[in-house]
Structure 1
């Protein structure tokens, strides 16, 4: 099933007419950071690693203030989606950590709204001009790859392990993240979840398998109003085993609609952090994007 549906739909769309050429873009939406990225600058990949690294066709960095709340910064993400994912253009999305909340929030709350078709030529603020004055419903998105997604929040936010003067941290409380929007409403766009498990520092706080920042219940797209303890097969003292694909966890918890686990880190090899060099679980998402985003 891997991404064939979205690719086939896009291919069919491109064959309908050749009057206006279609362009594909890869949008990278970062997570929590110190606010160092340049909002509106689609060439600033400093969060991820060297900009020269292959990371999908026509890659663009979707930068926002990674310390502020999701709702207040989501317009930055919608600007990027309007710019590159409307009209004849299509997008692949790659998101990390709280970037999962950003794309989920945009699709759930705004993915059914009228969007002006844009010309993919952003100004200094990251806003593009209109093409012919017409609109469309939502955006043209093939699929979303998620590296260590924070859609389910983190217990580190629950207990105040992160700087509580950062407004974003209040959004990362598990119950808040899960109630922020309807995670089942993805506008039929598939979310491919990549869940890392190389976590030891906060093992007493984060339930089940974790990558030092988030647990499997979040990175695996497991539904529910709060977090749960999910692990790799054969691990003891866990509430359940995180399944790959769309299947329920072993203790019967469903994943959100249109969420599927592409990578479960059975070898406990990948932590949460890109480390400015496309590292950790981000490395596996980048490999996948290079292969499928063309």
Structure 2
């Protein structure tokens, strides 16, 4: 009996140790024109002051926001390996092309074997292995996307012929939508936050937009190209809340849900170096739920 008690106590202590060592992290993945330092998870230049509350154990996952999604994707995988393997779990927040980057990562690498890492990155943003064991994919609770651009932007459609910027070419609506299987999220929910404060040149973007991304993309709507979707009562079909079909019958990608819709048309695309625009809405949601 004494031996059984000792074994039970040992197992209990091991269980408590494992639970105690598990940590939650909040990863922020930037969009175009990234300003943070790649590999420096404390560099929040793209977003705003680093001291601003933005979820438990927040980390800035920086990439250059200029080169192609595929060429920069390793930086995202390094961060996910660092903080979202083993006993650790991650909340993920993205902006604009950061949504494109995260969706691409999950579709193409979310089912791959990942070595468990120790959450202690070196200067290049790569973490060391723990015990040499591996797991399939990453431990991700959810993704919240501020003005997600995984469906591309019509601004890139008209700009890709006049610029050599690789990311702009990736962001063409037909290119972005054909680049990977947007329905494959590895059962991780992408919660979408479209902004609706358009401007004079918004005629380039169909339906409602935030000056850079139209609702069809920021709302996670499927299809080969963009379409006009609006707020209730506007002059085009409604982008519906939740994961159901829109008013025109178009559907959202699997595991995509509209959590916020800018019906008052007060949030634009831009952070202005201070967590502003539609990013402010996502930050508020993250602070309340990423713990």
TM-score by length of 2: 0.93
**Partners of 1:283 and 1:115 in 2: CA distance:** 33
Change (3 A) 1:263 1:155: same
Q: Which has the larger radius of gyration?
A: 2
- Structure 1 regions of 5+ residues with no counterpart? 1-15
Q: Please give the alpha-carbon distance, in whole angstroms, between the structure 2 residues aligned to 1:54 and 1:82.
A: 24
Residues 248 and 141 of structure 1: CA distance in aligned 2, closer, same or farther (over 3 Å):
same
Counterparts of 1:264 and 1:65, CA distance in 2: 29
Question: Structure 2: where are the runs of 5+ without partners?
Answer: 1-13
The CA deviation at 1:160 is: 1.1
**How far apart, CA to CA, are the structure 2 residues paired with 1:276 and 1:162?**
29
Q: Report what 2:146 is aligned to.
A: 147
Q: Deviations over 1:107-151 (max 9, x none)?
A: 000000000000000000000000000000000000000000001
Matches within 5 A, 1:185-264: 185-236=184-235, 238=236, 240-264=237-261
CA distance in 2, matches of 1:118, 1:212: 39
- 2:253 matches 1:267: no
Equivalence map 1:55-134=2 (5 Å): 55-134=54-133
Number of aligned residues: 276
Counterparts of 2:16 and 2:156 in 1: how far apart (Å)? 50
Q: Is the 8 A contact 1:120 1:128 kept in 2?
A: yes
Equivalent residue number for residue 156 of structure 1: 155
SS of the counterpart of 1:99? helix
Q: How many Å separate the matches in 2 of 1:53 and 1:32?
A: 21
Select the residue among 279, 286, 290 that pairs with 1:289. 286
TM-score by length of 1: 0.92
Give the Cα separation in 2 of the matches to 1:270 and 1:155: 19
Poorly superposed stretches of 4+, deviation over 2 Å: 16-20
Q: Displacement of 1:163 after TM fit?
A: 6.4
- Cα deviations by residue, 1:51-101 (Å, 9 ceiling, x for unpaired): 000000000000011101000000000000000000000000000000001
Q: Is the 8 A contact 2:156 2:168 kept in 1?
A: yes
Q: CA separation in 2, counterparts of 1:99 and 1:18? A: 36
Shift of 1:161: 7.5
Determine which structure has the larger helix proportion and give its number.
Answer: 2
How far off is 1:201 after superposition? 3.1
Distance 2:160 2:71 in 1: 23
How far did 1:36 drift? Answer: 3.1
